[in-house]
Structure 1
Amino acid sequence: MAAIGILNLHKRRNAVDRIYRERLTLTNLRDTDIESRYRLDRESIVYLMRLIGGDIRKSGRGRSIDPETQVLVTLRYMAKGDFYSETGDVHGVSRSSVCRIIHNVVTSINKRLHNIRFPRTNEDILHTKVMFQRSCGLPNCLGAVDGTLVPIIAPKQNEEAFVSRTGCHALNVQAVADADMRFTDVVCRWTGASHDEMVFDNCGLKEHLEATNIGYLLGDSGYPLKPFLMTPYLHPGSPAEERFNKAHKRGRVVVERSFGVLKARFRCLSKSGGCLPFAPEKSANIILCCFKLHNLCLERGLPLPDISSDNDDSQTPGEFINECGRGGIQRRNELTQLFSR
């Protein structure tokens, strides 16, 4: 017994006291610093904390990490694309805690925040069409569709399928944006080698538009011409067709600008922020969360960030001359007639 007591005393003398680092809070940050570091303003962060607080509440044991710190850690990573160690050092948590926090918070936001909605009611459909017609002159348009590449770390399985045309491993994310740069539909489960046309052809939105005939989307020439998907003339042969192409470009550019704003806001999605160091499934969850936070920023009127010139990563358009159905040609001709005067 004496020997055991001496051994325990020796362990206590050689034990290293646990060091608790100071953690940032919203109360000791200026408003400008909050928006610069986390991309959201103070009120929006508080809103998120209330929205998901029940999912990520602290355990009550020792120095467990409070919901505010968890939200700040996640937003900081998505805004800057930092290494875990740097994000942890800023907020006084360990590298392993950062990894766990990010996925818990992202999962909760995706579960609780529902602000990516394609117009379904008559009121929403009419509003979307009116806003697009004001911006580009094309009636009955419900949005602009395109794909963007988000770099990820090379997956352990089926690696070659994720290699994009740029040579990096990525997910090809399809999104539809309205005239206000709000994302109304997002698909982020396809590999970087997947072509935009194939992604659209296998999404639920295509089936919905085809079945309901409520309007159409604008897409580049990488998509086939359909009654519900208008593409530009590859070789315009009249002034009316040229004017249609210009109007089409004014309408479609909104989705490219939306991607630019998204990646400028959340650098973890941009190649300037490296790549998402997660498996494809977890990367897709983070991507979806960033899209939802982008919409939240628009809803709350936060200023748009400067768009850098390194966001042009969409696939090179191809020519789908043989996939232009009669219905698509007829609808485009009818729209072109609006520009014949």
Structure 2
Amino acid sequence: MTRLLLTLRFLATGFFFICAGDSFGVSRTSAHDIVQLVISALLDLRHRYIRFPPSRHLLDSVKRKFHSMASFPRTIGAVDCTHVRVQYPGGEEGYLYMNRKGYYSKNVQVIAGPDLQIFNIVTRWPGRFHDMTVFNNSRVRHWFESTPMFKDCLLIGDAGYECRPYLLTPLSNPQTPAEVNYNESLIRTRNVVERTFGVLKRRFPILSTGIQCFFFPPALPYPLPSLIFYYY
């Protein structure tokens, strides 16, 4: 229980390990090892909680929930990326973490469900890379292009994504009432992923204030895993 509480405090505050350790009477090194141990245990559970509904019946239920928001049909997820601040990792590829906003980050892609659950997460890309690059190299793209279960399903995203048969984005210049209604319905439905980011970053402020360390050395195969998640 002490290990779990120490880890939750670290994730909630974003303090250095020495601060987290002082709160529980352990050394900085012990705090580091404890946080790494607990996060590894949490990652072992990710396939139980971070996944798309495993059956057509459950997917249909998700579609109905999304449709009830703003009448957008066939939707099973809203996709978007958010930047999570990280400490400059150094090395020959450290510059890849500098994003367009001028700070070091990882570009984290999330597909959110209607109840703010996370169906899929990709955290292995430095902040320099575009949202569409992250999506194109994810397993989700392959699933939607080749898996029969997702044949009649849609993802919705913002203007940072390319429009595809299974990924719909807003129209850049709506002209007709139907186009205006389409944009309004899509934007209102896609809001769930923005709310998901808000809940995560309020609950775990380390995602906002920045991750001050990496548990894995830069010598590991590119790209460098993050502290909290390493999931494709």
CA shift for structure 1 position 156: 2.3
CA shift for structure 1 position 285: 4.5
Q: Provide the alpha-carbon RMSD of the alignment.
A: 1.7
CA distance 1:282–1:197, shift in 2 (3 Å): closer
1:161 is the counterpart of 2:101: no
CA distance 1:283–1:87, shift in 2 (3 Å): farther
Q: Which residue of 2 aligns with 1:91?
A: 24
Distance in 2 separating the partners of 1:282 and 1:225: 29
1:219 is the counterpart of 2:152: no
Kept after mapping to 1: 8 A contact 2:211/2:227: no
1:186 is the counterpart of 2:124: no
1:277 is the counterpart of 2:213: yes
Matches within 5 A, 1:107-126: 107-113=40-46, 114-126=48-60
Q: Which residue of 2 aligns with 1:229?
A: 167
Distance in 1 separating the partners of 2:152 and 2:15: 43
Kept after mapping to 2: 8 A contact 1:84/1:95: yes
- Work out the number of aligned pairs and report it: 220
Residue type at the aligned position of 2:169: T
Distance in 2 separating the partners of 1:285 and 1:214: 36
Kept after mapping to 2: 8 A contact 1:107/1:285: no
Distance in 2 separating the partners of 1:207 and 1:96: 41
Distance in 1 separating the partners of 2:68 and 2:107: 30
Relative contact order: is structure 1 or structure 2 higher (C-alpha 8 Å, sep ≥ 6)? 2
Distance in 2 separating the partners of 1:182 and 1:274: 23
CA distance 1:92–1:282, shift in 2 (3 Å): farther
CA distance 1:205–1:93, shift in 2 (3 Å): same
For each residue in 1:243-272, what CA deviation from the matched residue of structure 2 results, as whole angstroms up to 9, or x when unmatched? 1101001111110110011010001111xx
Residue type at the aligned position of 1:171: K
Q: For residue 106 of structure 2, give the secondary structure of its aligned residue in structure 1.
A: strand
For each residue in 1:180-222, what CA deviation from the matched residue of structure 2 results, as whole angstroms up to 9, or x when unmatched? 1111000100110010011101111111111232311000111
Q: TM-score, length-normalised on structure 2? A: 0.90
Of 108, 133, 136, the match for 1:201: 136
Residue type at the aligned position of 1:277: C
CA shift for structure 1 position 276: 3.3
Q: For residue 284 of structure 1, give the secondary structure of its aligned residue in structure 2.
A: coil
Q: Which residue of 1 aligns with 2:37?
A: 104
Kept after mapping to 2: 8 A contact 1:152/1:283: no
Computing the radius of gyration over CA atoms, which structure comes out larger, 1 or 2? 1
1:140 is the counterpart of 2:74: yes
Distance in 2 separating the partners of 1:277 and 1:125: 38
Q: Structure 2 unaligned runs (5+)?
A: none
Distance in 1 separating the partners of 2:58 and 2:227: 27
Q: For residue 286 of structure 1, give the secondary structure of its aligned residue in structure 2.
A: coil
CA shift for structure 1 position 284: 2.1
Q: Which residue of 2 aligns with 1:260?
A: 198
1:128 is the counterpart of 2:62: yes
Kept after mapping to 2: 8 A contact 1:110/1:285: no
Percent identical pairs in the alignment equals 37
Q: For residue 217 of structure 1, give the secondary structure of its aligned residue in structure 2.
A: strand
Distance in 1 separating the partners of 2:184 and 2:165: 19
Q: For residue 133 of structure 2, give the secondary structure of its aligned residue in structure 1.
A: helix
Kept after mapping to 2: 8 A contact 1:143/1:218: yes
Matches within 5 A, 1:294-333: none
The structure with the greater share of residues assigned to strand is: 2
The structure with the greater share of residues assigned to helix is: 1
Q: TM-score, length-normalised on structure 1? A: 0.62
Q: Structure 1 unaligned runs (5+)?
A: 1-67, 290-341
CA shift for structure 1 position 108: 1.1
